[in-house]
Structure 1
Amino acid sequence: MKVLVIGTGAVGSFYGSLLAKQGAEVSVVARSDYEHVKVHGIEITSETKLGNYHFRPQAVVRNAAELTEKPDYVLLCIKVVEQADRVGLLKDAVGPDTSIVLISNGIDIEDEIARTFPNNELISGLAFICVTRTAPGKIWHQSYGRLALGNYPRGLSEKARALCSAFEQSGINCAASEDIVTARWQKCVWNAPFNPLSVLSAGLSTNDILSTQESFVRNIMEEICLIAKATGHTLPSDIVDKNIDSTYNMPPYKTSMLLDFEAGRPMETEVILGNAVRAGRKAGAPIPHLESVYALMKLRELKLAKE
């Protein structure tokens, strides 16, 4: 199995390293930390049963065009923000038999890639994980790690099953989903409150947010469930309670959106909130809490732009 990971941030480095441990030939496209990863590889520090280990990629390149062979799978592990040229990053990586795997947050993130590469299998993926890149080539895995993978817009191919199996054998749970779009709405139930509220609260952890504003968090989660149902993706009746319980049980965590905000990087406001709000408005779902949080995030982004 030949795999190319585009993005040596926390998610790409972690999941690429797991496939390498199972014998896959894993190469990486590194950008800001190219020099460090080329020389030193990537150190994974995990507080789970996975422990600490070193990941030495098969090849480290600045651009996929530098590779001599096209991979079986290309894992695009970058945040879907306005400035991200996903098509440009993929164009030199994809061969006729390459499966494109998107491991990113958000709602409705697949269409651009599906339209640009109509002849390639598209696997959409979601990571349920607490993991952070603390320095070039340094990844801190705090908790969780479950993946959900499935073909877009639906179904489950043999290659998708094989990738799920490789992740399972590496020591994490990987759910093979025949309805990955519904799974995206399930992930959004957590992302929609905690990512923006961590920014709007000026840096509070998930535990602080939940322990003081549980009712508000629940309202946002329930509105996501309303939108999902209105668009044909009914979620489990206990999904809000399960998300609340699991968040109380996880260590205090800085969300990815908060880390981007603190570093002055673009945030995933549109794919996590904006796309959900637009879907809710189109469906006529009552979503006052979600609309308010989205409006406040757009004001925060405007303030950052002016600064």
Structure 2
Amino acid sequence: MTIRNICIYGAGALGGTFATKIASGLGTEANVSIVARGAHLAAIRDKGLTVEQGGDTAPLKARVTATSDPSELPKQDLIVTGLKGHQLGDAAEGLAGLLKEGTRVIMILNGIPWWYFHRDSESGHAERQLPELDPEGGLWRLVGPERVIGCVAYQGAEVTEPGTIRLNGEGRFFLGEPSGELSPDLVSISELLGRAGLNIIPTQRIRDEIWTKLMGNAAYNPISALTRGRMNSLMENPVLVAQVGKVMAETKAVGEALGAVFSSGVDQQLGRSGGFGPVKTSMLQDLLAGKALEIVPLTGMVVALGKLAGVPTPTCETVLALTLQLDRENLRN
């Protein structure tokens, strides 16, 4: 696979991190462009992207081609989407315009992705589409699940001001084909991004990684938004920790019913979470910024897939109902 033109579609915290590291790490080896909007786009055009990370002697900076209109860009060899699950549907046509034969699309997503059942050999639901995540079927039809490489990201990141991103710790990014193959494309892309300074881990079981991360996201994100609490304050409250544990247990049960294998249990996940500092979850960041919340791909899909698999999810249903109402009220104000 020849990778020359790389577009980051949605250059928020994680998308901007990819763009900056690829552009600075690969230099003239790659033509890096981004699709962004608003004040973030204006700042990137004016002064480029800056990524700050604790322990670094100096921030990482990069200049990239930036636009709000993907039709201004050439066809791409590789696209990396930094959009959240509830934003992707509106980008289907823009993404489709950047595709050519052989283009691969890395989708950095929290929660269940729209392509989840493509070439899934374990759940019994192969090729089932998910209208909750792709209501008009545009992503399936225009982008195509066969182009996707799944990505599960462990990287705390926040846009601290337009054009500037702050990272918390050293990130890890699991990449995997929906089929489970270690394909030549996956190997080539992983090697390229690794040379750019990204910590890439190819996997043959990307769905296991999706569910393992979802155990935390389905709980911490909505509960932090409902309480406006940072991670350290959530974990200091034993009543909230108990509810987090219930959401995790329900999420794990649904994932296992669909064939996922978990490397850790609820107690282990809770034990690791106790070490977090005053970190704002991505959903809390969106709530405070007045943005729509990414609730359906997270807790919403635990509930939906629980019904599909015949697994009860009463705590998730309560958290989902409360967070959906919070989202409506927050957008109304």
TM-score (structure 1 length as normaliser): 0.91
Q: Which residue of 2 aligns with 1:208?
A: 233
Q: Which residue of 2 aligns with 1:197?
A: 223
1:102 aligns with 2:127: no
Deviation at 1:193, TM superposition (A): 0.8
- The DSSP-based 3-state class of the residue aligned with 2:236 is helix
Contact 1:16 1:26 (8 Å CA) reproduced: yes
- The DSSP-based 3-state class of the residue aligned with 1:22 is helix
Contact 1:100 1:120 (8 Å CA) reproduced: no
Q: Which residue of 1 aligns with 2:255?
A: 228
Match of residue 38, structure 1, among 17, 42, 45: 45
In structure 2, relative to structure 1, the CA distance for the partners of 1:44 and 1:160 (3 Å cut) is same
Deviation at 1:181, TM superposition (A): 2.2
- The DSSP-based 3-state class of the residue aligned with 1:132 is strand
Contact 2:222 2:323 (8 Å CA) reproduced: yes
Q: Which residue of 1 aligns with 2:32?
A: 26
Distance of 1:89 and 1:102 partners within structure 2: 15
Question: Higher mean Cα deviation, 244-253 or 257-266?
Answer: 244-253
Deviation at 1:302, TM superposition (A): 3.4
Distance of 1:131 and 1:50 partners within structure 2: 18
Distance of 1:119 and 1:127 partners within structure 2: 19
Distance of 1:20 and 1:37 partners within structure 2: 13
Deviation at 1:94, TM superposition (A): 1.2
Distance of 2:23 and 2:267 partners within structure 1: 36
Equivalent AA in structure 1 for residue 22 of structure 2: L
Equivalent AA in structure 2 for residue 218 of structure 1: G
In structure 2, relative to structure 1, the CA distance for the partners of 1:264 and 1:305 (3 Å cut) is closer
Distance of 2:223 and 2:21 partners within structure 1: 31
Contact 1:48 1:142 (8 Å CA) reproduced: no
Distance of 1:159 and 1:127 partners within structure 2: 19
Unaligned regions of 5+ residues in structure 1, if any?
A: none
Equivalent AA in structure 2 for residue 81 of structure 1: H
Contact 1:114 1:122 (8 Å CA) reproduced: no
In structure 2, relative to structure 1, the CA distance for the partners of 1:62 and 1:208 (3 Å cut) is same
1:261 aligns with 2:264: no
Match of residue 133, structure 1, among 132, 142, 159: 159
Per-residue CA deviations over 1:179-201 (Å, capped at 9, x if unaligned) read: 22222111101101110011110
Equivalent AA in structure 1 for residue 114 of structure 2: I
Q: Which residue of 1 aligns with 2:12?
A: 9
Per-residue CA deviations over 1:197-239 (Å, capped at 9, x if unaligned) read: 11110x2101111221322212211111100011111312x24
Equivalent AA in structure 2 for residue 222 of structure 1: A
Per-residue CA deviations over 1:38-92 (Å, capped at 9, x if unaligned) read: 12101111115585111211x222222112x322101111112268512023022
- The DSSP-based 3-state class of the residue aligned with 1:102 is strand
- The DSSP-based 3-state class of the residue aligned with 1:81 is coil
Q: Which residue of 2 aligns with 1:55?
A: 62
Distance of 1:217 and 1:45 partners within structure 2: 31
Distance of 1:162 and 1:272 partners within structure 2: 30
Contact 1:143 1:250 (8 Å CA) reproduced: no
Equivalent AA in structure 2 for residue 234 of structure 1: V
Match of residue 82, structure 2, among 62, 77, 85: 77
Equivalent AA in structure 2 for residue 211 of structure 1: E
Distance of 1:71 and 1:50 partners within structure 2: 34
- The DSSP-based 3-state class of the residue aligned with 1:249 is coil
Distance of 2:267 and 2:24 partners within structure 1: 35
Deviation at 1:26, TM superposition (A): 1.5
Distance of 1:259 and 1:91 partners within structure 2: 29
Distance of 1:191 and 1:144 partners within structure 2: 19
Deviation at 1:12, TM superposition (A): 0.4
Unaligned regions of 5+ residues in structure 2, if any?
A: 116-128
Distance of 1:63 and 1:74 partners within structure 2: 15
Which structure 1 residue ranges, 4+ long, deviate > 6 Å from structure 2? Answer: none
Distance of 2:331 and 2:236 partners within structure 1: 32
Per-residue CA deviations over 1:228-254 (Å, capped at 9, x if unaligned) read: 011111312x24344323322233210
1:188 aligns with 2:214: yes
**Identical columns (%):** 26
Distance of 1:30 and 1:232 partners within structure 2: 37
- The DSSP-based 3-state class of the residue aligned with 2:274 is helix
Aligned residues: 303
Question: Higher mean Cα deviation, 45-54 or 175-184?
Answer: 45-54
Equivalent AA in structure 2 for residue 207 of structure 1: N
- The DSSP-based 3-state class of the residue aligned with 1:100 is strand
Root mean square deviation, CA, Å? 2.1
Question: Higher mean Cα deviation, 5-14 or 115-124?
Answer: 115-124
Distance of 2:253 and 2:185 partners within structure 1: 33
In structure 2, relative to structure 1, the CA distance for the partners of 1:31 and 1:305 (3 Å cut) is closer
